[in-house]
Structure 1
Amino acid sequence: MFLKRSETAFQERNLREINVAQQDTGFAAVNYDSIETPSQFAEFCEAIADEPVIGFDTEFVSEDCYRPELCLVQVAAGKHLAVIDPYTVGDTKPFWDILTDDQIEPGSRVVIAHAAREEIRFAYRYSGRPIAGLFDTQLAAGFVGIEYPASLATLVQKLVGQTLPKGETRTNWRHRPLTKDQLTYALHDVTTLAEMHSKLIADVKALDRVSWLDEETDRLQKKVIDAEESENWQRVSGSSGLKPRQLEIIRHLWRWREEIARTKNRLPRRVMRDDLMVELAKKGSPDTKKIRNIRGMERRGYNDQYDEIGAAIAAALDVPDEHLPRRTRGRSRSASPMLSQFLSTSIACISRQQKLAPAIVGNSDDVKELLSYELDPRRGTPTPSLLKGWRGDIVGTAFRKILRGELAIRVADTSEQQPLEFVECEGSNQTDE
């Protein structure tokens, strides 16, 4: 448990100032703490542990490493504004433990982030838990009719009337020391989060969509965490048409590749390309000479790995038939492209009427999933996302009426931004089962 400390508790406080009153951004000078030592970090965590509102963001690199590498953490909590340097601080787990503390009273803290997918991933990696009380400004904006997914700069401009600094989007955040411009850019990702939260949550409450936002936030966190824990061998490009035994080889090679990538902190596809894995699976031989003869497998980087690759293939060949993976059977009946396009237009129409960003409701893949489910029902098939939760309430019922010919779309007013409207067809059943 962290104890709340006053601001004077910073015994090694490293207070700095960035003057950002430039380029007509509307920002004033900003004082912030630069957290660079373990003791400063411990003091800072204690100081913010009981703050009811914590806004944060991360800077990272992911282009050449197994997992995104955390390079900087920016925090705005009450009167505290800070940048945390993970390279000099060391273990940042205490900070993530604060954000994921599920023992605090529900609703007593809000943790604000924008487009929080990577932040969720870091929190889970360091603490093993989802963020408690997460408020994603990008998600919230989609529920009040603002475009989705909106960039942070777009939301800051619309909600706060300020312009974020530009020019550091391609920064190498590993490099030290960071420049004044880089820190300015990083800090402004968090200085307006609390104000944006206040405005967005007021609109969400006014539309009675707090439960929708909570549902979607939980869905996002679960999706990110599941992706962290799952084996994604089925996503190997080119493997969709393989036989069960070949898929088992893909699975074993994928596990081998993941372990090498994790150990060497490299991108998995830099260890072995997908097309080579598929070719190895098709050949189906653990013989190192045959492996070496596959075009692309003769390069020097594999010299010390032929035996390991052969062993992975041999292990896959030993798996009993009843334990082999099977691809999920595709549905035999597919909807016409015209019908899919019509329902996609319907999503946009419904969304605009409901003051929702269409992209947060669903996309073309969601429409195809729903059509497949409705036109070719099979026992045990998972319920499509457009028929579940808040989406089912606003979209599912309407879609089923459209498919039954009970609901139509017409042009209502060509001068309006949303010129279309739904109308009940004459003689249709006014209730939905």
Structure 2
Amino acid sequence: MKTITTTQDLSNFCKAAAEHDYVTVDTEFLRERTYYSKLCLIQLAMPGTDESNAVLVDPLSEELSLEPLYDLFRDTSTVKVFHAARQDLEIFWVDAQVFPEPLFDTQVAAMVCGFGEQVGYETLVRKIARGSVDKSSRFTDWSRRPLSEAQKSYALADVTHLRQIYEYLSAELDKTNRKRWVEEEIQILTNPSTYEVEPREAWKRLKTRTNSPKFLAVVRELAAFREQYAQENNVPRNRVFKDDALVELASAKPKAHTDLSGLRLLLREARRGAIADGILAAVQKGVNCPQDQMPKPDRSREKLQVNPALADLLRVLLKSKTESSGVAAKLIASSADLDAIAAGERDLPALSGWRSEVFGLDALRLCDGKIALAAKGNNVETVEL
């Protein structure tokens, strides 16, 4: 079991990997105490049936640069295979503004191939590779050195089994002509906007009891300050102040440091220093926000006139389509999407791309009264009208 700690060794491995059709990749990281993930370990494996073509890469080594790996990521002749790649990709994008190309995500592929919604790696190892994964090191501190043999074995298994999973799923996609479907989903994963959090937009993730523009103006400024402070100091946003404290601050609208001491939900550390100053400045900015610049909540879905009977029919149609296609329902359309379609909305992912082939076209025909649904034995089928 080889651990790479120098740039030269990493370069040698990556050059060898570039001679193959694919390489499997995984990472171990920590994020509990930071805003950005701290990369602690990278696992790589070339095609093979044992551990001889697999390595661990130690990004914490002072003698190692990840540039050879990024060169491999840019090499379009070798597919980079991940499972549930989103968090891994965020690390590489933040560090070097690079995405692996081409990319294959086995979780997305498995959902397309009928393995259910957000299927876990362990499930695929068991069902496809006929193996098992040792869970004992799952919650380990990957930043501590030296790593134990158990930690190394656990980490390496994340890329050795992945080879067989990739080969199986890739073959299934070729058989069913669905590789393009996965490629459409990968475009979302390799879009920089997926990972870039704009502080001024952070308020949209919060749930509040009121949608008053005046209240939301203060929420927006507090959320923007928190996000910017967390990014600049690389601390989790909840370490600055939590969501419930943010809402409390927006309601109380403190004007001075003494007002902060009376707030029940605000952390003690946030009642003084730079955080306290930032809170007061954000509240003041929100209170003084001009009327025409106040945030406007998205009420488009609230105004939808949903036909409940049609929405129910769309749910039956979706279930029928997922059963016949083997594609996870969550990947095709959400319950909110179905309500929107029943209310007349048409600019939805469920009605475009590969989803239109599986579900969207018939969903529109059902809405237009061109088809009906009929039970035939244990199945539901469409009937032309």
What's the TM-score bracket when you normalise by the shorter of the two chains? 0.7 to 0.9
SS of the aligned residue for 1:409 comes to strand
How far apart, CA to CA, are the structure 2 residues paired with 1:146 and 1:328? 35
Residue 290 of structure 1 and its aligned partner are, at CA, apart by 3.2
1:300 to 1:58, Cα distance in 2 relative to 1, 3 A: closer
Which of residues 49, 54, 76 is equivalent to 1:81? 54
Question: Can you list the C-alpha shifts for 1:251-310, whole angstroms capped at 9, x where unaligned?
Answer: 221222123323443321121121222222233453333344333348354222332221
Deviation at 1:52, TM superposition (A): 3.3
Contact kept, 8 Å, 2:7 with 2:66, in 1: the verdict is no
Contact 1:156 1:163 in 2 (8 A): yes
Aligned position for 1:364: 335
Contact 1:276–1:296 (Cα < 8 Å) also in 2: yes
Shift of 1:147: 2.1
Q: Secondary structure at the match of 1:192?
A: helix
- Structure ranking higher in helix proportion: 2
Query: How far has the Cα of 1:383 moved from its partner?
Result: 0.8
Deviation of 1:114 (Å): 0.8
In structure 2, runs of 5+ residues without a counterpart are none
Post-superposition, which runs of at least 4 consecutive aligned residues in structure 1 deviate over 4 A? 89-92, 336-339
Structure 2 partner of 1:307: 277
Query: Which residue among 323, 342, 348 is the counterpart of 2:319?
Result: 348
Give the Å deviation of 1:186. Answer: 0.9
Confirm or deny: 8 A CA contact 2:304 2:340 kept in the other structure. Answer: no
What are the residue-to-residue correspondences of 1:141-180 with 2, within 5 Å?
141-180=110-149
1:386/1:396 contact within 8 Å kept: yes
SS for the counterpart of 2:2 is strand
- Paired amino acid for 1:370: I
Q: In the TM superposition, what is the alpha-carbon distance from 1:341 to its structure 2 partner? A: 4.5
Q: Say whether 1:260 aligns with 2:229.
A: yes
For the aligned residue pairs, the C-alpha RMSD in angstroms reads 2.7
Counterpart of 2:383? 424
Moved more, 144-153 or 235-244: 235-244
Cα pair 1:238 1:275 within 8 Å, conserved:
no
Alignment CA distance shift 1:166-1:307 (3 Å) = closer
- Report what 2:89 is aligned to: 120
Amino acid at match of 1:156: V
How far, CA to CA, are the matches of 1:322 and 1:142 in structure 2? 45
> Structure 1, unaligned stretches of length 5 or more?
1-31, 414-418, 429-433
What is the deviation of 1:41? 3.4
- Paired residues for 1:23-422 under 5 Å: 32-78=1-47, 80-89=53-62, 92-101=65-74, 104-105=75-76, 108-222=77-191, 225-231=193-199, 232-239=201-208, 241-297=210-266, 299-304=268-273, 305-330=275-300, 331-335=302-306, 339-372=310-343, 374=344, 377=345, 383-413=347-377, 419-422=378-381
How far has the Cα of 1:227 moved from its partner?
3.7
Pick closer, same or farther for the CA change 1:369–1:68 going to 2, 3 Å. farther
C-alpha distance in 1 between matches for 2:319 and 2:234: 42
The question of whether the paired residues in 2 share the 8 Å contact of 1:409 and 1:420 is answered with no
Q: Percent same amino acid among aligned pairs?
A: 26
What secondary structure sits across from 1:88 in the alignment? coil
One-letter amino acid of the structure 1 residue matched with residue 222 of structure 2: L
State the alpha-carbon separation in 2 of the partners of residues 284 and 265 from structure 1. Answer: 27
TM-score norm. by structure 2 comes to: 0.87
Aligned residue type for 1:132: E
Looking at structure 1, the residues matched to 295 and 269 of structure 2 have their Cα atoms a distance apart, in angstroms, of: 32
